[in-house]
A and B are shown apart, each in its own frame.
Chain A
Amino acid sequence: MSITTTDYKHCSLIKMDGRIDSNTGDSLLKAFQEVQERGTYKIVFDMADVDFMSSKGWWVLIQTQKASKRYNRGEVVLANVPQKILESLDMAGMSHYFQVFDDIVSAVGSF
């Protein structure tokens, strides 16, 4: 599992690979929180190399989205979401809370 953060002019890009589950989810949450603590609330989450995500991942994303959208400071958008993960997000209506982009350029450019 690796998590990287890249800061752009208008947003930060967080990329994670591997599994997002009850074992790794807190590390992802910490990465999001570190970006937000620096005052950046516009975040792109690149999921291209995420091969598994349980509901733990949903809650990390939801918690982060709430913090970003509070006071209209920004939002979290998703990029390169694997189809099988998108389907599980859709199943529970979770994708409703996020803009989903097919690539990083579009996602970063949305801010």
Chain B
Amino acid sequence: MPTKVFPGKYSSLAEISDFIAENTKLAGFDEKETYAVQLAVDEACSNIIEHSYGEELAGEIECDCQSSETGITIVLKDSGKPFSPEDVPELEVGIPLFEVRERGAGLFLMKKLMDEVQFDFPETGGTTLTMIKNKKR
């Protein structure tokens, strides 16, 4: 399964999405599940650009897709500021419209859409994000 490196800019998101869709379908997932993986990866990559790098074109995003009999593992690597999921406020659901604040949606979606979400911080710097989607039995 392939690894591809993308420039850390928002215009890369469409290409990343296509790359993910192609490999998720090859791994045997249906349209709905493929969309879920695309969405989780898009949220993660947007966070990398906005928070880990702080701006566009400050670094690259390495995307690796590995499929197995049980599912697909997506690994995203960046060389930006380490991202601490504990520091992200939880998305508040069901509150009045004017109390809604723009935060926490990306991580919320990643955890809802994927079966496993794991952040690692290598000594060399940056963040390695591993997300796993299992096939339905």
Contacts and interface: CB of A to CB of B under 8 A. Distances in A.
B14 interface: yes
Interface residues of A, number: 22
Given A55-B43, A69-B97, A97-B97, A22 B91 contact: no
Interface residues of B, number: 27
A58 B14 CA distance: 18
B39 interface: yes
A55 B106 contact: yes
Q: Is the interface of B mostly helix, strand, loop or mixed?
A: helix
Interface string A56-99: 10110011011001000000000000001000100111001100
B109 interface: yes
Nearest to B10: A23
Contacts of A106: none
Contacts of B14: 19, 21, 23
Interface in B21-46: 31-32, 35, 38-39, 42-43, 46
B79 to A, nearest CB: 19
Given A22-B49, A92-B109, A54 B94 contact: no
Contact of A84 (B17, B35, B102): B35
Interface of B: 10-11, 13-14, 17, 31-32, 35, 38-39, 42-43, 46, 49-50, 91, 93-94, 97-98, 100, 102, 105-106, 108-109, 112
